[in-house]
């Protein structure tokens, strides 16, 4: 009969012992975000061995769950036919080489042309743990940072990958060109990051502030070119703008970083000192930061997998100019 609630029954497996019921049902119920699942449980939509429970209740093996499936909610993300550079794809997740200038998910001032819009057009099913405007998004990259980003197709895979990021078992490697000299060949920058006290779009090194979180970044110099440095960067934590803030703190901000280096474009003259017509040529119009490599454990096979995105053309142009000067 139309309008009657749909219920699903589960028996708690050994693998879910100690897990919260809201997380278990999010993984088991593709098509609904965690917030939707939580709201349904709070509205007496789930019973455990016949008793209504709270979303935070922990599960035991063999318990019986009956879950009243909530009404479907329309997806706010509108698909757009935007080309994607797919590095890897299987039934559980996709790895994309994100181009510079592409916002990951819709936000104020950026409602179209986003990665989520391209994903919604390309794939029929993506996880919705993050809600309807962030289908499949497990982690993010800044708009002007290019490179490897992972997108989940199912809720179970999304939760597994999110746990890997939260537990810092994912290895992330970035390539950066710094506008400055790093005296040490390699070092670890340990400095807490919080909201900038005056500029809402920026983060800053802030000790003992309510917004501050610990942050750790390892870097290794690849090569030096006068006032510029090519750097391999491995962030140990994943704070907002972490690499950009830490390199700026070390006296070598990411080249062409509008917020932390103070310039929005780079010309040949800025790199080489050449003042003729050639020097006026613009070679970079975004921060020289690229998510080059990412290593994670496959959520289904348990095997370690590494994905790599080649350096984009604009960063290669900068390297060519620096190498020839």
DSSP structural state of residue 137: B
Q: SS3 of 187, please?
A: strand
Complete DSSP assignment for 208-243: T-TT-B--EEEEEEEEEETTEEEEEEEESS--TTHH
Q: SS3 of 271, please?
A: helix
Q: Using an 8 Å Cβ cutoff, are 294 and 170 in contact?
A: yes
Non-local CB neighbours of 245 within 8 Å, separated by 6+ positions? 193, 203, 204, 205, 215, 239, 260
For residue 281 the two structure tokens come to 């040529």
Q: Using an 8 Å Cβ cutoff, are 235 and 243 in contact?
A: yes
> 142 an active-site residue?
yes
Burial degree of 91 (CB within 10 A; 0-12, 13-18, 19+):
exposed
CA 276, CA 265: separation in Å to the nearest integer?
A: 18
3-state SS record for 93-104 = EEEEEECCCCCC
The one catalytic residue among 30, 91, 128, 142: 142
Residue 204, CA distances (Å) to 106, 125, 148, 191, 198 in order = 25, 38, 25, 10, 10
Residue 6, CA distances (Å) to 10, 45, 71, 279 in order = 14, 11, 9, 67
Instruction: Kindly report each contact of residues 159-163 with a partner whose C-beta sits within 8 Å and lies 24 or more positions away, as own/partner.
Output: 159/23, 159/26, 159/27, 159/129, 160/299, 161/93, 161/296, 161/299, 162/129, 162/138
> So which residues are the catalytic ones?
142
């Amino acid at each position: 009969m139309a309008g009657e609630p749909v219920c699903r029954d589960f028996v708690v497996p050994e693998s879910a012992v100690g897990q919260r019921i809201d997380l278990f049902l999010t993984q088991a119920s593709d098509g609904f975000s965690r917030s939707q699942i939580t709201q349904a449980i709070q509205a007496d939509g789930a019973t455990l061995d016949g008793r209504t429970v709270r979303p935070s209740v922990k599960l035991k093996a063999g318990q019986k769950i009956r879950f009243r499936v909530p009404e479907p909610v329309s997806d706010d993300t509108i698909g757009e036919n935007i080309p994607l550079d797919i590095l890897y794809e299987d039934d559980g997740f996709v790895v994309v080489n994100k181009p510079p200038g592409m916002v990951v998910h819709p936000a104020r001032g950026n409602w179209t042309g986003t990665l989520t819009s391209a994903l919604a057009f390309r794939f029929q099913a993506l996880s919705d743990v993050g809600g309807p405007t962030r289908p499949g998004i497990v982690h993010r990259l800044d708009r002007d940072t290019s490179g490897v980003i992972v997108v989940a197709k199912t809720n179970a895979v999304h939760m597994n990958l999110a746990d890997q990021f939260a537990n810092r078992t994912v290895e992330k490697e970035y390539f950066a060109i710094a506008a400055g000299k790093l005296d040490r060949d390699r070092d670890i920058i340990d400095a807490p990051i919080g909201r900038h006290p005056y500029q809402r779009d920026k983060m800053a090194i802030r000790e003992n502030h309510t917004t501050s979180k610990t942050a750790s970044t390892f870097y290794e110099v690849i090569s030096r070119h006068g006032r510029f440095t090519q750097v391999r960067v491995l962030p140990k934590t994943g704070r907002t703008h972490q690499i950009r803030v830490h390199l700026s703190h070390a006296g070598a901000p990411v080249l062409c970083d509008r917020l932390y280096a103070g310039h929005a474009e780079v010309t040949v003259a800025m790199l080489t000192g050449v003042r003729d017509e050639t020097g006026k040529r613009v070679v970079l119009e975004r921060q020289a930061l690229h998510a080059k490599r990412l290593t994670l454990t496959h959520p289904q096979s348990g095997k370690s997998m590494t994905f790599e995105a080649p350096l984009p053309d604009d960063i290669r142009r900068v390297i060519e100019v620096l190498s020839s000067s």
